[in-house]
Amino acid sequence: MKFKVTLKDPDTLQDAIIDAVRDDVSKLEIEADEREAIEERRREKVGDLCAAWFRYGEYLTVEIDTEAKTCVVCEDND
């Protein structure tokens, strides 16, 4: 049997992106104002990429297959 589940969490994706970008950019040896600009642009780019799976940055749909015992993230095609 296969079925889909849509999960909603308005803050989780954005918080994860902020943390990941901040951690990545902190390794650069640049001034604080440059760091802020780079972080902002990278957050936008990562958010745009994640839009392939997350609707409105908060809805994620997965398909569960009980026979194959798998759970797959569905692309947001709507």
> What are the pLDDT digits (tens) for 3-35?
999 999 999 999 999 999 999 999 999 998 999
> What are the pLDDT digits (tens) for 39-78?
999 999 999 999 999 999 999 999 999 999 999 999 998 6
- Residue 4's pLDDT is 97
Closest CA to 44 of 75, 21, 74, 24: 21
- Assign 44 to helix, strand or coil: helix
- Residue 10's pLDDT is 92
Q: Is the dihedral of CA 26, 31, 36, 38 positive or negative?
A: negative
Instruction: Give residue for tokens 């954005």.
Output: 14
The helix (run of H) or strand (run of E) holding residue 14 is helix 12-25
- Residue 77's pLDDT is 84
d(CA 46, CA 31): 22
